[in-house]
């Protein structure tokens, strides 16, 4: 686990071994069963999660109890509800394990302490936050320019292993189409 975390962080910001040790010692190891929540909608998000192994989804539930998936995260990705985490307000999102998931979590309080001890860590989180923002913007731009079929095939071509791990109805929710329509797209591949 420590090596996965070290490798991931060092892709963006080079850390000294003692800095990695300090970060790692501030984190909590957690294991979530399939369908277990890392965060429930309306709770305040107190943690950032680094996924060691597994798959989670972030989603909202509207007044009709319809789930709208806005993000998936897999091995070696960070996930949180950034608005709730930063402003310490109730979350609009839930984060739930799709399969058994192992994470290292970092509390907001511990992260603030680490920022003062390891200034490079603030740069690291700025960089991954920027990457996340760019991914959201790119997703929105792609959605505005492509039809549902193009979005689906773009997703499974771009991340084939991920698409095989996620149930089709969740992919449909993420693409903002019905499961029935996704089934039709998959049937009529041409």
**Each residue of 104-142: pLDDT tens digit?**
999 999 999 999 999 999 999 999 999 888 887 877 777
Residue 190: its pLDDT value, please? 54
Q: Domains plus CATH for the chain? A: 2-120 (2.60.120.10)
Which class for 135: exposed (0-12), middle (13-18), buried (19 or more C-beta within 10 A)?
A: exposed
Q: Consecutive sets of 10 residues in the chain, 190 residues long: mean pLDDT of each?
A: 92 96 97 98 97 95 89 91 96 97 97 97 94 81 77 80 83 86 80
- Determine whether 49 is exposed, middle or buried from the number of CB atoms within 10 Å of its CB (0-12, 13-18, 19+): buried
Using CA atoms, how far residue 132 sits from 43, 79, 83, 129, in Å, is 22, 10, 13, 5
This prediction has a pTM of 0.87
Predicted pLDDT at 56: 96
Please give the Cα distance from 106 to 126 (Å, whole number).
16
pLDDT for the residue 146: 80
160's tokens: 């084939």
On the CB side of 21, how many CA atoms lie within 13 Å of its CA? 3
Amino acid 141: pLDDT: 72
């Amino acid at each position: 686990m420590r090596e996965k975390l070290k490798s991931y962080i060092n892709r963006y910001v080079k850390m000294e071994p003692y800095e990695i040790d300090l970060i790692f010692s501030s984190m909590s190891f957690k294991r979530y069963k399939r369908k277990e929540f890392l965060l429930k909608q309306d709770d305040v998000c107190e943690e950032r999660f680094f996924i060691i192994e597994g798959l989670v989804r972030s989603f909202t539930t509207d007044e009709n109890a319809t789930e709208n998936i806005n993000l998936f995260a897999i091995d070696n990705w960070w996930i949180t509800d950034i608005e709730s985490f930063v402003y310490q307000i109730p979350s609009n999102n839930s984060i739930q394990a799709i399969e058994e998931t192992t994470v290292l979590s970092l509390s907001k309080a511990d992260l603030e302490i680490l920022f003062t001890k390891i200034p490079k860590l603030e740069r690291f989180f700025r960089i991954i936050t920027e990457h996340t923002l760019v991914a959201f913007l790119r997703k929105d731009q792609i959605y505005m320019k492509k039809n549902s079929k193009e979005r689906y095939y773009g997703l499974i071509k771009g991340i084939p292993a991920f698409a095989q791990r996620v149930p089709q109805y969740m992919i449909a929710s993420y693409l903002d189409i019905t499961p029935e329509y996704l089934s039709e797209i998959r049937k009529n591949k041409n």
